[in-house]
């Protein structure tokens, strides 16, 4: 007789489920577990780049305001539990197991096999409701209109800069992609965006206007501890969102806004590590839009000669990224952070004078053994996660 899978094994078994856009399965599953997504007010954050940073700053502001805040994000960098935070802390293991088991029982009862991302999202709603969260911040996974997070009726729909990504699902024009992202706008939500592209703004404004929603185009900047000039626009978006929500969430004050932004920590985004006499920057830049944002920082802050450790997913548009990134570096090592989805290290190496080293840890060791003192590790959040795990372990070993 086949052995019964435990909760974590059942969740892991869904990883090969692929991407199946649509909200039908989510609605049936959530109805089967008592509609936990209705247990709290929510804020949804969509966009191509910057949505995680913006959501993290907004969550930090809500935490600083005294709210018991749930934060759902993806992907995780090192540990799965990073995807669900309650009150600024990773989800408790027992609560996670209970939430997985609740979902598994319901999925069996209604005979629906959720995708992995649908399961992770449903777990977030179940856990946040059980934990008594007073407000929840949701980072959209992909797109918006058909993303599993988009089953809520949010207080605010926040849209960070939109570029070309996931075109096989979202469309191959900026207006079509913007339309998918703008699908997180619902009747009654305050709509805020930092997008400057006229076509994108037109799409978002039209969707907000359809429902008669308040619309704000955030153009200013706000100081933030997160590195990179582009983060100032993300910070301004989070700050303006918090201020707009003050009538609905009255514990938010100017002081809690300032404290929340100042205490935000968001790993793997131009994170600076000093180790073994080298300056190392770890970033999850995974598309041309992201590279365009971090390139000025690299040129201004990272001293030459520079070494790049680069790995990227095969479903991304690799050529524009390598064309923009490779010329900034004196030497390049390519690697494969997440087989079998990674682009092959040898193929990435062929785009420039690069050395392929398939295993990420071996690529990091080679970078440490190099003559260059400045090392940048980027191309994928999976690679950023591998780097953070590697250097956290090495730094922990040094302290012992």
Q: Which residues pair with 354 in a beta bridge?
A: 332
Stretch 77-102: mean pLDDT: 96
Place of tokens 């001293």: 303
Q: Distances in Å between the alpha carbon of 9 and those of 4, 5, 101, 126, 241?
A: 9, 6, 11, 19, 38
User: For the residues of 300-341, what is the DSSP string, one character each?
Assistant: HHSPSSEEEEE--BTTS-HHHHHHHHGGG-SEEEE--SSTTT
Q: How far apart are CA 227 and CA 232, in angstroms?
A: 9
| 110 token code pair | 């209604």
What was the pLDDT predicted at 205? 98
**Residue ranges per structural domain of the chain:** 7-262, 271-399
Where does the pLDDT of residue 349 fall: very low under 50, low under 70, confident under 90, or very high at 90 and above?
very high
Domain 7-262 architecture: 3-Layer(aba) Sandwich (3.40)
Q: What 3-state class would DSSP assign to 212?
A: coil
**Position 397 pLDDT exceeds 80:** no
Place of tokens 């993300």: 234
Q: What 3-state class would DSSP assign to 43?
A: strand
| Angle separating helix axes 116-130 and 93-109, nearest 10 degrees | 120
Phi, psi of 8 (to 5 degrees): -65, -40
Q: What residues contact residue 361 under an 8 Å CB cut-off, 6+ apart?
A: 386, 390
Lowest pLDDT segment from 14-23, 297-306, 378-387: 14-23
- CB distance 204 to 185 below 8 Å: yes
Where does the pLDDT of residue 316 fall: very low under 50, low under 70, confident under 90, or very high at 90 and above?
confident
**Sign of the CA dihedral running 220, 223, 229, 235:** negative
Q: What 3-state class would DSSP assign to 273?
A: strand
Could you list the beta-strand ranges (E) of the chain: 42-46, 69-72, 84-86, 89-90, 135-139, 156-159, 190-193, 215-217, 271-275, 278-282, 306-310, 331-334, 354-356, 374-378
Where does the pLDDT of residue 399 fall: very low under 50, low under 70, confident under 90, or very high at 90 and above?
low
153 burial level (CB within 10 Å; 0-12, 13-18, 19+) = middle
Stretch 65-72: mean pLDDT: 98
- CB distance 103 to 123 below 8 Å: yes
Stretch 220-241: mean pLDDT: 94
- pLDDT tens digits for range 129-139: 999 999 999 99
**Position 3 pLDDT exceeds 70:** no
What was the pLDDT predicted at 1? 36
Q: What 3-state class would DSSP assign to 363?
A: helix
User: CA 48, 52, 56: angle at the middle one, nearest 5?
Assistant: 155
pTM of the model: 0.91
Q: What is the CATH number of domain 271-399?
A: 3.90.190.20
| 225 token code pair | 């501890």
Lowest pLDDT segment from 105-119, 208-222, 275-289, 361-375: 275-289
Q: Distances in Å between the alpha carbon of 98 and those of 35, 90, 91, 95, 123?
A: 16, 15, 11, 5, 9
């Amino acid at each position: 007789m086949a052995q019964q899978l435990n909760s974590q094994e059942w969740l892991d078994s869904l990883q090969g489920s692929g991407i199946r856009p649509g909200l039908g399965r989510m609605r049936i599953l959530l109805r089967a577990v008592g509609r936990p997504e209705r247990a709290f007010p929510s804020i949804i954050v969509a966009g191509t780049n910057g949505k995680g940073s913006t959501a993290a700053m907004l969550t930090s502001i809500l935490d600083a305001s005294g709210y018991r805040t749930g934060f759902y994000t993806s992907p995780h960098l090192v540990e799965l539990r990073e995807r669900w935070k309650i009150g600024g802390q990773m989800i408790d293991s027992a609560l996670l197991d209970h939430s997985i088991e609740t979902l598994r029982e319901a999925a069996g009862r209604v005979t629906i096999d959720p995708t992995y991302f649908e399961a992770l999202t449903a777990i977030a709603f179940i856990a946040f409701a059980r934990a008594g969260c007073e407000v929840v911040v949701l980072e959209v996974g992909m797109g918006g209109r058909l993303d599993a997070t988009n089953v809520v009726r949010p207080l605010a729909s926040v849209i960070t800069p939109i570029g070309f990504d996931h075109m096989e699902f979202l469309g191959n024009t900026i207006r079509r992609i913007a339309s998918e992202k703008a699908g997180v706008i619902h009747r009654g939500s305050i709509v805020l965006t930092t997008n400057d592209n006229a076509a994108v703004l037109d799409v978002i404004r039209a969707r907000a206007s359809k429902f008669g929603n308040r619309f704000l185009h955030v153009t200013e900047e706000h100081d933030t501890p997160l590195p990179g000039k582009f983060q100032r626009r993300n910070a301004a978006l989070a700050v303006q969102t918090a201020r707009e929500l003050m009538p609905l969430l009255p514990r938010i004050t100017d002081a809690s806004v300032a404290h929340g932004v100042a205490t935000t920590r968001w790993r793997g985004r131009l994170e600076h590590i000093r180790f073994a006499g080298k300056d190392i920057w770890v970033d999850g830049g995974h598309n041309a839009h992201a590279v365009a944002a971090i390139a000025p920082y690299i040129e201004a802050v990272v001293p030459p000669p520079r070494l790049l450790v680069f790995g990227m997913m095969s479903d991304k548009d690799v050529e524009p990224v390598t064309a923009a990134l490779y010329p900034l570096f004196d030497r390049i090592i390519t690697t494969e952070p997440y087989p079998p989805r990674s682009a092959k290290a040898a193929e990435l190496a062929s785009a420039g004078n690069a050395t392929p080293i398939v295993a990420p840890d071996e690529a990091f060791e080679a970078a440490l053994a190099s003559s260059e003192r400045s090392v940048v590790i980027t191309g994928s959040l999976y690679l950023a996660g591998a780097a953070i795990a590697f250097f956290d372990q090495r730094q922990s070993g040094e302290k012992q």
